[in-house]
Amino acid sequence: MKIRIESPKENMVTLLRRAGYIFQRKDENKMSFIRPLASSGYPRFHIYTEVIGGSFTLNLHLDQKKQTYGTATRHHGEYEDSDLVKEETDRIKKFLG
């Protein structure tokens, strides 16, 4: 689920920390944040952010469990059609104003 934040008053790390997210890593102009829902680390909300001009784009999904490997990488995630992802998107939008 994508969320666009126009002209934020604070940097993305500070905004997402206040929303309960933990910075994970940075790759070029994208950052990754997580918000675990259990002490084991999964399930967890996962946000990728991208800076475009003076605004941020958040791309949110829910990781149900750790990736599995074998002949192909499998990602156990929920995206736009998930009620949990929709609820978290609404929570973030309210939090960010």
| Overall average pLDDT of the 59-66 stretch | 89
Q: How far is CA 81 from CA 19, 28, 52, 86, in A?
A: 22, 29, 26, 8
Q: What is the pLDDT of residues 12-57, one digit of tens each?
A: 899 999 999 999 999 888 999 999 999 989 999 999 999 888 888 9
Q: What is the pLDDT of residues 74-94, one digit of tens each?
A: 556 777 788 999 999 999 988
Secondary structure of residue 56 in the 3-state scheme: strand
Count how many domains the chain has: 1
Residues with Cβ < 8 Å from 13, sequence gap 6 or more?
23, 31
Domain that holds residue 40: 2-96
Q: What is the CATH number of the domain that holds 12?
A: 3.30.310
Tokens of 81: 């059609």
pLDDT computed for residue 85 by the predictor? 94
Mean pLDDT across the chain, nearest whole number?
Answer: 87
